[in-house]
A and B are shown apart, each in its own frame.
Chain A
Amino acid sequence: DTEVTQTPKHLVMGMTNKKSLKCEQHMGHRAMYWYKQKAKKPPELMFVYSYEKLSINESVPSRFSPECPNSSLLNLHLHALQPEDSALYLCASRVTGGLYNEQFFGPGTRLTVL
C-alpha cells in the first residue's frame, strides 16, 4: 500500500458546525503533516506530527485541532470555522530517518465554510 487516503473528498459546513477530516497511510511513515492550500496559492504548513507527537504548530488558530491517534491515522477537528477557512486541506506523510524525505500527499479534502 503506497498511498495516503483522505476523507471526505468534499465537505460543506456552517460556521457553528463541528466536523473532522481524516487521513490514513499504511506505509509505516512516522511523520505526518497537514497543509492548507488556498486557490492559486501553494500549500502552507499547518501542523507536523513526528512519532505521533505534535512537533510543529504553525500558529494555527485553535478552531483547528489536530490529533494523531496512532501511527497510521491523522485527524483534523474543525469547530467554529470562518468562511476564509475554505480551502483544500492536504495531508502528507514521510518516512523518518535517513536521506529519504519525499513527502507523499493524499488527494485532499476540499472544504467550504458557509
Chain B
Amino acid sequence: EDKVVQSPLSLVVHEGDTVTLNCSYEVTNFRSLLWYKQEKKAPTFLFMLTSSGIEKKSGRLSSILDKKELFSILNITATQTGDSAIYLCAESNSNSGYALNFGKGTSLLVTP
C-alpha cells in the first residue's frame, strides 16, 4: 500500500527560527509530491515537485525532492507567527486518478 510519512508530527519554534519539515514516501507509479498549508480551513497549495534536485522557492519557503531516497523537505526560514499551521505532504500517482494521498501532517506553532 502506498505510504506517505511526515516528521515531526508537531513542532514549536520561536519567531525567526528556521524549520525543516520532512516527508518520505513509498509509492508505485509516482508522479509528483505536493506540499500544502492548512490553517482553520481548506489546504492551500504551496509546491509541486516532480524532479529530483530542483529546488522550488516562494519567499521564505523552499522545497526539494530526492527521488532516489524517496523523500522531500520543506524549509521555512525566518519563521513568523503567521506560519503556524499544519503542513501536509501528499503524493499523486496515476493509480488513483492523480488523487492526493496525504501524510498525517506536521503541526507547526511559531511563538512570538
Contacts and interface: CB of A to CB of B under 8 A. Distances in A.
Interface of A: 31, 33, 35, 41-45, 48, 50, 55-56, 88, 90, 92, 94, 99-108
Nearest to B105: A42
A92 B104 CA distance: 19
B95 to A, nearest CB: 9
Interface in B90-110: 90, 92, 96-105
B76 interface: no
Contacts of B96: 45, 48, 56
Contacts of A56: 96-97, 99
Contacts of A101: 31-32, 48, 92, 98
B58 to A, nearest CB: 13
B101 to A, nearest CB: 8
Q: Is the interface of B mostly helix, strand, loop or mixed?
A: strand
Contacts of B92: 101, 103
A17 B51 CA distance: 48
B42 A45 contact: no
Contacts of B32: 99, 101
Given A41-B104, A103-B98, 7 more contacts: A42-B102, A43-B43, A45-B101, A56-B96, A56-B97, A102-B48, A105-B36
Contacts of B7: none
A43 B102 contact: yes
Contacts of A41: 104
26 contacts: A31-B98, A33-B100, A42-B88, A42-B104, A43-B43, A43-B102, A44-B102, A45-B99, A45-B101, A48-B99, A50-B97, A56-B96, A88-B42, A99-B50, A100-B48, A101-B31, A101-B32, A101-B48, A102-B48, A103-B34, A103-B92, A104-B45, A105-B43, A106-B42, A107-B41, A107-B42
